[in-house]
Amino acid sequence: MSFGRAMICTAFVCALAVFVGGRAAFSQLSKAEFAQIEEPDKALGEPLHKRLKQNEPFCYGSDYDAAHLDQHPDQQVTSIRLLRGPIEMAATGKRQEWPEGAAVSVSVTTRDGNGAVQQRYSCSPEGDQWRCTSKASADAGCSMLTREVFLRRGTEDTITLANPSDGLPSLDLCSKLDIASSDDKMFKLSPMALSECGLKKDW
């Protein structure tokens, strides 16, 4: 082998080594990034897309007693439910990329005593949480056409429902809320029996 050919081969080997090494480093970086997205804290258990099954109903919620409400005078919610039943499943349709487009409903009762108000949301995965959006109908006659809530897994199978920018998670989408004075931006929800969400076990 001539000196020139030896130099070419050596250059090729070096380039190949850099390419392979670069791909290995990129692969490790990708794995690290995906690990942060999928499993940022293993103490929290399985991510939502595994905990919440596509073809199984669920009910999460929280009720607040008088003592709690006395300590949080700016909180309007007295009871809240996060649910997915036959209606929400039908609204989702036959999607393969679970949980993209997953429909859930949020129901709340407030201090005003006017009964529960329920709103349906369509969810999409976003990192370690679900971003869920609800839209008012086109003929609602108001500028407040969308509202979002975020779902995030918590310890002991709980789910945190957060609504930091829009306050109450489920009201008339046309209503204008006093966000600054609202204490209804984050709720820790626990698993409940399906009947607590008005769902039947043998649906």
Residue of 3, 16, 44 lying closest to 159 (CA atoms): 44
Assess whether 89 and 167 both reside in one domain: yes
In this structure, is residue 202 part of a structural domain?
no
> Is there a single domain that holds both residue 30 and residue 77?
no
How many other C-beta atoms can be found within 10 angstroms of the C-beta atom of residue 99?
A: 22
- Predicted confidence (pLDDT) per residue in 74-90, tens digit: 888 999 999 999 999 99
Which pLDDT does position 78 carry in this prediction? 94
The number of domains in the chain is 2
Tokens of 151: 């779902």
Element (H, E) at 37: helix 3-38
pLDDT recorded at residue 166? 66
**Is 43 among the domain residues?**
no
Same domain, residue pair 17 and 71: no
DSSP string, 64-76: --HHHHHH-TT--
Q: pLDDT value at position 181?
A: 60
Judge if 62 and 28 occupy the same domain: no
Phi, psi of 186 (to 5 degrees): -150, 130
pTM for the model:
0.73
**Same-domain pairing of 63 and 32:** no
Residues 93 and 28 reside in one and the same domain:
no
Note down the domain range covering 187: 48-197
- Pair 191, 156 in one domain: yes
Helix, strand, coil share (%) of the chain residues, nearest 5? 35, 30, 40
Q: Which residues of the chain have pLDDT under 50?
A: 1-20, 22-39
pLDDT score of 7: 40
One domain for residues 26 and 93? no
Q: What is the pLDDT of residue 61?
A: 97
